[in-house]
Amino acid sequence: MIQPPLALLAELTHRCPLRCPYCSNPTALTRPGEEVDTATWARAFAEAADLGCLQVHLSGGEPTARRDIEALVRAASEAGLYTNLITSGVLLNGTRLEALVAAGLDHVQLSIQDAEPVSADRIGGYRGGHARKLEFARHVTAAGLPLTLNAVVHRQNLDRLPQMIALALELGAGRLEVAHVQYYGWALANRDALMPSRAQLDAATAAVEAARAAHRSRLVIDYVVPDYYATRPKSCMGGWGQRFLAISPAGHILPCHAAESLPGFAFPDIRTTTLREAWEASEAFNRFRGTGWMPAPCQGCSRAEADWGGCRCQAFALTGDAAAADPACALSPHHALLALALEDADRAGEAFTYREPGRLPAAPACPPVD
């Protein structure tokens, strides 16, 4: 029996004033005129609640670039969903936040690029962005909303993780997500400039463990480590078609936000397909659902129903085959590709290819699949 999803990621737009080089949006960005309209989003939220979703994450791009964001929050809230706004904060102020709260906003997840302002603005490609983020964070806590800080960490900011933890405490955040870059979309194109060293990763892990012990009663810290140093894969998004679904700005209903990077799929469109039909019956959701599709050594592995074969987008990015065993697993015949990628990163500089509409960066070349 197919269980209902727990959450919907609503990617409302690809528009964003920031140009983060680690962005997981696809390199071919959806144009504003192709975005799903307000009424269709409202129907999607009602269908998500009927399907069993408990929460909706309103994301992008920058979701507040849409002028109808208050109407969208209201529609999601009226559908009975817990509403989480995932934002850069740079387009918001106290007045706009009050309108979002009145519409039914429950939670804010605010991205930061660093704790040091000059570095943060360089990484985000937006002058003055860090100061605007801090100002908005204070509006959030003053309004009584729960605040999560999302710190995407990588080679060029990871040494300041202790300062980012201190910033979360200073701003009154209840949760901090320390998320090592996951290499899809623009992040894959910038992999060599973003990949941390093993020494940086070990120091970051120690900093998180120390902060968890020191601030247990004040701050919850979620920690997402990079697969490139792993020996076993993560359960990506809880497993393909297991706990999560997403809708892209163009209306594609997806098992994960990066799934459009995979060739050979005809993803359902929210304009012509209900969420229930997509979740339960579409070939796209069923292709990698469960364990029957798995190749060796995943098939029959004792962890098959724990990690669900790892990440299909990562398998494709590294091997060119979405059905291959995730190279993050030490048992995968492709595990050595991770070591090769780390060697390339060791030789790379720090220049970024920034996320920009119409700009198509070159991704790292994939070795041929044996």
Binding-site positions for [4Fe-4S] cluster read: 16, 20, 23
Region at 310 (left for phi over 0; alpha for psi -120 to 50; beta for the rest): left
For the residues of 318-333, what is the DSSP string, one character each?
HHS-TTSPPTTSTTST
Annotated binding site: which residue ranges?
A: 16, 20, 23
Residue matched to tokens 């299909």: 312
Give the C-alpha separation, 209 to 149, whole Å. Answer: 17
Smallest CA-to-CA distance from 156 within 132, 202, 190 is with 190
How far apart CA 274 and CA 262 sit, in angstroms, is 22
Q: What is the dihedral of CA 58, 233, 183, 242, to 10 degrees?
A: -30
Instruction: Name the E strands within the chain.
Output: 7-11, 55-59, 82-87, 107-112, 147-153, 175-180, 220-224, 244-247, 253-254
Give 11's strand partners.
Answer: 59
Crossing angle of helices 129-142 and 161-171, in 10° steps, is 40
Helix count and strand count (H, E) for the chain: 14, 9
- CB neighbour list of residue 32: distance below 8 Å, 6 or more residues apart: 13, 15
Dist. CA 267–CA 12, nearest whole Å: 17
Alpha-carbon distance 284 to 265, whole Å?
Answer: 6
Kindly state the tokens that stand for 233.
Answer: 């894969």
With H, G, I as helix, E, B as strand and everything else as coil, classify residue 120: helix
What is the b/e burial string over 329-346, where b = at least 16 CB atoms within 10 angstroms of the residue's CB? beebbbbebbeebbeebe
